[in-house]
Amino acid sequence: MIKEKLLLATTNQGKAKEILSYLSDLCITIFTLKDIDQTGFFTEDKKSFRENARGKSLFYNKFWPNLTIAEDSGLEIEHLNGAPGVLSARFSEPQATDEKNIQKVLELMKGVPFEQRKARFVSCFVLSQKGKILKEIIEYVEGFIAFDKKGRYGFGYDPIFFYPPLRKTFAELLPEEKNRVSHRGRSLKKLKVFLGGYLDLTPKA
């Protein structure tokens, strides 16, 4: 059986790892940006996750003949009026690191009581082919900003995202546990159903 070739338009390794492992039982081969010869990079400067994901998907699809998948994701904190939001990856500075971003959030949330530390992660996937958008999926997961970092798994803000149903931060969850409840796990579930139907794929037994 010929495997469908998909482009996953991301350079974020943490994210790519989660997406690749979730889709690994489908009969597809996934390429990432390091496998293609594109000219330039898409600048994620839009006001919403949806607009960034649309722009990213259509931009990289110009350099790829088949289906292109792009995701924009991030953290929204109620007390900070939705920040860091679309700026999640570079919240502390343009060349931010996960650690610096976490420290900035903890600093801004200093002294804020637990009940006012509500936050959510957002994951928005946009699939395109031949310059047209085929499908958009957006999912969320709600939690609270912890007072300190905890856990060693995951990436980004996982060590300070406390998920009440499991009484753990996302960084305390094993990858498969996080996928079961996370914003990305939820959107990937829908993406998988869509891909299964669209490409007529049958998961391996």
Nearest distance, CB of residue 167 and ligand IMP, angstroms = 18
Using the CB atoms, write b or e for 26-41: b if 16+ within 10 Å: bebebebbeeeeeeee
Helical spans, DSSP H, in the chain: 13-22, 49-61, 98-108, 175-181, 183-198
Q: Are strands 4-8 and 28-32 parallel, antiparallel or unpaired?
A: parallel
Q: Judged by CB, which is closer to ligand IMP: 15, or 168?
A: 15
Query: Is the backbone peptide bond immediately before 84 cis, with ω within 30 degrees of 0?
Result: yes
Active site residue 72: yes
CB atoms within 10 A of CB 201: 18
Residue among 154, 169, 186, 187 that touches ligand IMP (CB under 6 A): 154
Nearest distance, CB of residue 136 and ligand IMP, angstroms = 15
Q: Judged by CB, which is closer to ligand IMP: 61, or 182?
A: 182
| Interacting residues with ligand IMP between 122 and 151 (CB under 6 A) | none
Q: Residue with CB nearest ligand IMP?
A: 156
Note whether 172 binds ligand IMP by CB under 6 A. no
Helix, coil or strand: residue 157 = coil
Q: What is the contact surface with ligand IMP in residues (CB under 6 A)? A: 12, 15, 44, 72-75, 88-89, 101, 121, 154-158, 170, 182, 184
Residues catalogued as catalytic: 72
